[in-house]
Amino acid sequence: MSAPASGLNLCPPREPSPEEYIAHVDVNSFYVSCERAFDPRLIGRPVIVLSNNDGCAVARSDEAKALGIDMGAPWFKLAPTAERMGLVAKSSNYELYGDLSARTMQLLGRHSAWVEVYSIDEAFLGVRGTLPELQALARRMKQDVMDHLGLPVCVGIAKTKTLAKLANKAAKKNPHLGGVCVWEAVTEEDREQLLGRLPTVEIWGIGPRLAKRLMGLGIRTMKDLRDADAVMLRNRFSIVMMRTVLELRGTPCIPLEEEYEIKDQLIFSRSFSTPITDAHGMEQVLGIYAQQASARLHKHQRQAKVLSAWAMTSYYNTQDNHQPAVTVALPGPTADPLLLTRAAKALLPKILDGVKYARAGIVVTDVRPTGAQETFEPFVNRHEARDIGPLIQKIKQHHGVNAVGLGLAGMKTGPEWTMRREMMSPRYTTHWDELLTVYAS
pLDDT digits (tens, 9 = 90+) for 251-295: 988 887 655 555 667 888 777 778 888 898 898 889 888 988 888
pLDDT score recorded for residue 38: 92
Q: Is there a contact between 260 and 380 (Cβ–Cβ < 8 Å)?
A: no
Mean pLDDT of the region 58-67? 93
Mean pLDDT of the region 192-208? 90
pLDDT score recorded for residue 3: 37
* pLDDT tens for each residue of 296-310: 888 888 888 888 898
pLDDT score recorded for residue 262: 53
Confidence of residue 411 (pLDDT cuts 50, 70, 90): low
Which of these, 87, 76, 78, lies nearest to 32 by C-alpha position? 87
Q: Residue 10 pLDDT more than 50?
A: no
* pLDDT tens for each residue of 119-172: 889 999 999 999 999 999 999 999 999 999 999 999 999 999 999 999 999 999
- Lowest mean pLDDT, pick from 8-12, 315-319, 322-326: 8-12
Mean pLDDT of the region 180-184? 94
* pLDDT tens for each residue of 88-128: 999 988 888 888 988 999 899 889 888 888 888 999 999 99
pTM score: 0.69
pLDDT score recorded for residue 243: 92
Which of these, 251, 162, 243, 170, lies nearest to 204 by C-alpha position? 162
Close Cβ partners of 143 (under 8 Å, ≥ 6 residues apart):
none
Mean pLDDT of the region 45-71? 90
Q: How far is CA 67 from CA 71, 90, 186, in A?
A: 12, 17, 32
Mean pLDDT of the region 48-68? 89
Q: Is there a contact between 1 and 9 (Cβ–Cβ < 8 Å)?
A: yes
Sheet of strand 57-60, all strands in order from the earlier edge strand to the far edge: 57-60, 47-50, 88-91
Higher pLDDT, 438 or 148: 148
pLDDT score recorded for residue 1: 35
* pLDDT tens for each residue of 204-229: 888 888 899 999 999 999 999 999 99
Q: Residue 4 pLDDT more than 70?
A: no
pLDDT score recorded for residue 384: 65
Share of the chain above pLDDT 90, in %: 41
- Lowest mean pLDDT, pick from 1-5, 49-53, 195-199, 218-222: 1-5
